[in-house]
Chains A and B, each alone.
Chain A
Amino acid sequence: MTEKTYRRPTAGDHPPNLSPDYKSTPLRAPSQAAVVLPHSLSEITGPLLHGERLDANENDLTRQRMGEPLGERIIVHGRVLDEDGKAIPDALVEIWQCNAAGRYHHPGDQHDAPIDPNFYGGGRARADGEGHYRFVTIKPGAYPWKNHHNAWRPAHIHFSLFGPAFATRLITQMYFPNDPLLAFDPIYNSVPAGARERLQAAFDMATTQPEWALAYRFDIVLRGRNATPME
């Protein structure tokens, strides 16, 4: 009856929770092996949030305040797909990021860089029937963190996706190509080589708009279903 289970990630797809170069992990990573659960209705269903109402401009982070934020305007778009390349339609995509100076609009961010009153840094978009989503925003700055001496996060945008099931939930980060800080970042490098490169968006000249904004493409691939077993 619950034949539509989801494929398991392979060993090299995700970072290990214990990644000691990222210094917050040792106290927060579970040490016991997770108990493997067959997929029941509890795992193959999940919140779709199709009823969540999005305001105008939630996907345009440059038009959420009185004026235009400072920084380099960019288009970030892509598709939400499963491992078989099938679109996940109508997916809710949530993002958050710091401003062009590298400062989050968040009380916990004490970095000595200016807050931009015209940039809040949060956005949501609904993918269309082919899984295509699109944001307009500004390129986030790098910011320091206290993980180690001279630690700087490469520019990144946080992404949150639900997919079709509890089993497909994903929170991740999108990075920019050719960022020299990627080589030094323990969070990016916690993902095994061969998979971490998927977190880099591709510069997209075809979508770049003359006299207006550079474009980056970031496709997101969530777990696909197992083939339906023979009955």
Chain B
Amino acid sequence: MALGLTPSQTIGPFYFGTLIKAYRCELAPAGVPGERVDVVLELHDAQGAVVPDGLFELWQANSHGRYNHPDDRRNLPLDSGFEGFGRASTWTDGCARFHTIKPGRVPWPEGGLQAPHINVSIFARGLLNRVATRLYFEGDPALGEDPVLKRIEAARRNTLIAKKETDGTWRLPIHLGGPKETVFFDI
């Protein structure tokens, strides 16, 4: 007997008080192995205006490509101090900044490996469901063989690819709609 799913509702504008207890902008404390990356996510509405009351959540593998989760049973190291979870609301400029490490490659069910990526959830007032996307890293040699990017029409792939700025920050603008609409996933 299947039970009916609990339907989704918007996070609304007033979530800040509780959820801040699990905010994580610093995903990888000192000592966690891997290439250090500063990631800035920007959130825009369909007219390009910044969304100052959004919430981002990040989920990623460690530098060995291992998720800290019991269903990842591969014999790869888990790094102490690294859970792989990040969470922060956008600021008045529509941005949130995270400090983490670049994830390793994780396998694809039909074989091969995915390019390094961070899984991203987005919540906001006016969004009745969580929307999910991914952040990839520009210039990564594995991008061309990533099975998820291959499923997306070529012209829209760049909406998932963070670009490295001169100060070393990886920046990814996310557009909920409009001509630059980000690719979102039905997971």
Docked CA distance A166–B59 (Å) = 8
Whether the pair A41, B177 counts as a contact (CB closer than 8 A) is no
Docked CA distance A142–B87 (Å) = 29
Q: Which of B2-26 contact A (CB under 8 A)?
A: 2-19, 21-22
Q: Is B143 on the interface with A (CB-CB < 8 A)?
A: no
| Contact A169 to B57, CB < 8 A, known contacts A28-B127, A94-B22 | yes
Which residue of the partner chain, among A22, A43, A224, contacts B2 with CB atoms under 8 Å? Answer: A224
Which residue of the partner chain, among B18, B84, B185, contacts A94 with CB atoms under 8 Å? Answer: B18
Q: Is A133 on the interface with B (CB-CB < 8 A)?
A: no
Which bracket fits the contact residues of B?
35 or more
Residues of B within 8 A of A43 (CB): 119, 187
Q: Least Cβ distance of A90 to chain B in Å?
A: 12
Q: Give B112-125 as 1s and 0s: 1 = Cβ < 8 Å from A's Cβ atoms.
A: 00100101010111
Residues of B within 8 A of A187 (CB): 9-10, 128
Q: Least Cβ distance of A96 to chain B in Å?
A: 4
Instruction: Give the number of chain A interface residues (Cβ < 8 Å).
Output: 86
Docked CA distance A109–B10 (Å) = 16
Residues of A within 8 A of B125 (CB): 24, 28
Q: Is B77 on the interface with A (CB-CB < 8 A)?
A: no
Whether the pair B127, A167 counts as a contact (CB closer than 8 A) is no
Q: Give B70-110 as 1s and 0s: 1 = Cβ < 8 Å from A's Cβ atoms.
A: 01100000000001110000000000000000000011111
| Contact A47 to B176, CB < 8 A, known contacts A83-B2, A173-B9 | no
Q: Is B148 on the interface with A (CB-CB < 8 A)?
A: yes
Residues of A within 8 A of B21 (CB): 94, 122, 124
Q: Is A181 on the interface with B (CB-CB < 8 A)?
A: no
Whether the pair B124, A48 counts as a contact (CB closer than 8 A) is no
Q: Is B130 on the interface with A (CB-CB < 8 A)?
A: yes
Q: Give B15-54 as 1s and 0s: 1 = Cβ < 8 Å from A's Cβ atoms.
A: 1111101100000000000000000000001110101010
| Contact A15 to B129, CB < 8 A, known contacts A167-B187, A195-B7 | yes
Whether the pair B45, A28 counts as a contact (CB closer than 8 A) is yes
Whether the pair B46, A28 counts as a contact (CB closer than 8 A) is yes
A-B pairs, 9 with minimum CB distance:
A24-B126, A122-B18, A45-B69, A47-B85, A34-B186, A28-B126, A45-B67, A96-B18, A173-B9
Contact surface of A with B, Cβ cutoff 8 Å: 1-2, 4, 8-10, 13-17, 19, 22, 24-49, 51-52, 81-85, 92, 94-96, 98, 104-106, 108-109, 120-124, 158, 160, 164-167, 169-173, 187-188, 190-191, 195-196, 198-199, 219-224
